[in-house]
Amino acid sequence: MGRKRKITGLDLRYLIRELSPLEGKIIRKIYMLEERVVSLVFYPGLEGRRELIVDLDGYVFLTDLKWPKPQTPPPFVMALRKHLEGRRIDGIDQFGIERIFRISAGGFNLIVELFGGGNVVLTKGEEIVLPYKRAEFRERSIRPGEIYRPPGGLGVELDPEDRQSILAALEMGLRDGVPLWKVLIGYLGMGPPYSDEVSRLIGLDLRSKLDEGSIDELADLAYSFLNGEARPTVYIGEGGEAVNFSAFPLSHLELPSIAVDTLSKAIQQYYLSGSRNEEKDPRIKSLEAEIARQESLKEEYRERAERYRHIGDLIYLHLSEVEGALKAARRGDTSPLIASVDRMAGKVVLNLDGEHVQLDLIRSATENASDYYSRAKKLKEKYERIDGAISSLRKKLEALRREAKERELAKAPVRRKRLRWYERFRWFYTSGGFLVIGGRDAQTNSKIVSKYLDSDDLFFHADIPGGSAVVLKLEGKEPDEESVQQAATAAGVFSRAWREGLSSIDVYYVRGHQVSRHAPPGMYLPKGGFYITGKRNYLRVRLQICVGFQETPDGIKLTAAPPGAPFLHSICLKPGSTGKEEAAKVLKNMLEAWLRENIKIRGGSEPLAEIVEVSVDDIVRALPPGKVAIVE
């Protein structure tokens, strides 16, 4: 069941207020997330939101989520990018109280129609440059080169901020003798649920015609609805999902509700709660039908097999009487057991314990019983074979359903990660509470030394060419031995020693002021190299690393750290023979299993599995440079 509630003209009026601060911001990118769903990314952001979602089925909202983007844009989006990207937004406005709004940028207009199937029209001035879909109507044409015209009006220009203008629209409805619902929706942009609220407040049925006595009250109510203070509200159904939303609280809905800070947030919550009503994969439908057919056939075979066995048992139960009846039937004599005889077909029907049983006239009673047992056995073999076929079909169906689920998840937006500066590097917190950072390559090694290495910090490097520049950030404190050991282990693990399968390596460390990116005159430093002055301190470390969850100032995050570092949960690794991608899939399953078992942490209300993200890519990114083995 798909979403029923669409944006009304009144919703759009309130939403335009929220969108007005976009004026002056730059359109950075345009995407088509899927057919009929357009995304505009702008810069700088607006209170954490930097993307506008437009679904031509009747939805528009600012989003704080990260929406998956297709790699190849369609021609329509390419054209929009050519004309609009990099332009500054001059303004956003609504056409009257219609479900049409316009984004103006550098002489171009992006006009969005949220009715009649929806459309997006790019114009330069008033001339249409490109529509998402071309259309011909009696009063207007949506084609390149034509002048853009909105749908024909009602014979009155409605100014929603002018009570007299609203009153004039209502008086027109009175003269035309139209029902209340048509006045509210067609004249004032107040579709459900607002029309239902008006009906309840003024005590008029939506199907009734306007009367002169209700005009003034209705004008006051409409004016307050169109110009009131926004108090966005989401209404929650029995399943905990958003089942409706409004720009301000509505009493007639009589549902649990929550206030949210923006109408965009309310629309987004409803949009993501509703079923996308996607067409089921035809392969899934075909397999489901075939499984149902096979199960029906299996049940038919099973019932017939039981019937045949039962008949065989009946014959043996009355073996001598059946034999006597068969002989009598061959002679043409009568018998209490004989119900009918068909000599042409060579069949006789006997009445055995109140049941009619057909037998072969030529065969003996024993041969007839054996025949029924044989037929029962063949049917049993058939329905057992069907069991195997159904099992195979179910496996195929499950695989298709997983694929469909993965496709749906790939389309679903996710919360934007809040990344701290150190998450661009390898990082973890030590048992002493110190932050350790490490480079991923020559470029990030140089970045760490040039920008993040303070003079009193400790710098670590494996005593072998090719490795991570690791820094223990001290922030003016003295490190404990465990923290120094953990940082040294990280330097050994994230070096060429792991790739070569060594079990241990020497690591040196110095103070930050002893490290320079520049060699003395006459010496050469390779790219990403460092020059160390003064005495070096050495430690022998075992190459072992753990992947798991650490608590950070920004919540629970996935990282890699040596044994002994503070983890909520971790799995340890050593150099081995399993590829990183293959190992990451195993680790993902193990970590997610732990998340599911540990539903909540420290009295929190959200399941860990929902607030901690675990992806194969993130695990691969955390692993050392080489093959691994899981430590049992």
Tokens of 123: 């114009």
Q: What is the pLDDT of residues 204-216, one digit of tens each?
A: 888 888 888 888 9
pLDDT at res. 325:
94
Residue 154 included in any domain: no
pLDDT at res. 610:
45
> Are 204 and 174 in the same domain?
yes
Give the DSSP letter of residue 210: P
Residue 508 included in any domain: yes
Mean pLDDT confidence for 126-147: 93
What is the phi/psi pair of residue 606, to 5°? -100, 140
Helix (H, G, I), strand (E, B) or coil at 272: helix
Mean pLDDT confidence for 113-137: 93
Instruction: Round to the nearest angstrom and report the end-to-end CA distance of the chain.
Output: 48
C-alpha distances out from residue 28 to 22, 64, 159, 241, Å: 13, 16, 34, 33
> Are 381 and 327 in the same domain?
yes
> Are 265 and 318 in the same domain?
no
- Kindly report the pTM of this predicted structure: 0.56
> Are 441 and 514 in the same domain?
yes
> Are 459 and 593 in the same domain?
yes
Residue 158 included in any domain: no
607-616 contacts: CB < 8 A, separation 24 or more?
Answer: 608/556, 611/555, 611/556, 612/549, 612/556, 612/557, 612/558, 613/414, 613/417, 613/558, 614/558, 614/588, 615/588, 616/581, 616/584, 616/585, 616/588
Mean pLDDT confidence for 221-232: 94
By DSSP bridging, strand 347-352 and strand 355-360 are: antiparallel
Which residue range(s) make up the domain with 260?
233-273
Residue among 441, 496, 438, 447 at smallest CA distance from 471 = 438
Residue 156 included in any domain: no
> Are 589 and 485 in the same domain?
yes
> Are 369 and 389 in the same domain?
yes
| Domain end point (choices 352, 377, 410) | 410
Sequence-distant (6+) residues with CB within 8 A of 559 are: 427, 428, 547, 548, 549, 550, 622
> Are 430 and 562 in the same domain?
yes
Residue 171 included in any domain: yes
Sequence-distant (6+) residues with CB within 8 A of 188 are: 9, 10, 97, 158, 160, 166, 169, 222, 226
Residue 107 included in any domain: yes
Tokens of 500: 């070569």
> Are 539 and 574 in the same domain?
yes
> Are 220 and 238 in the same domain?
no
> Are 583 and 479 in the same domain?
yes
Give the residue with greater pLDDT, 280 vs 573.
573
Residue 188 included in any domain: yes
Tell me what percent of the chain is helix, strand and coil, each rounded to the nearest 5. Answer: 40, 25, 35
Q: What is the pLDDT of residues 355-386, one digit of tens each?
A: 999 999 999 999 999 999 999 999 999 988 99
| Edge-to-edge strand list for the sheet holding 49-55 | 26-34, 37-46, 49-55, 59-63
| Domain end point (choices 246, 273, 300) | 273
Q: How many domains does the chain have?
A: 5
> Are 214 and 247 in the same domain?
no
pLDDT at res. 609:
44
Residue 135 included in any domain: yes
What is the phi/psi pair of residue 437, to 5°? -125, 150
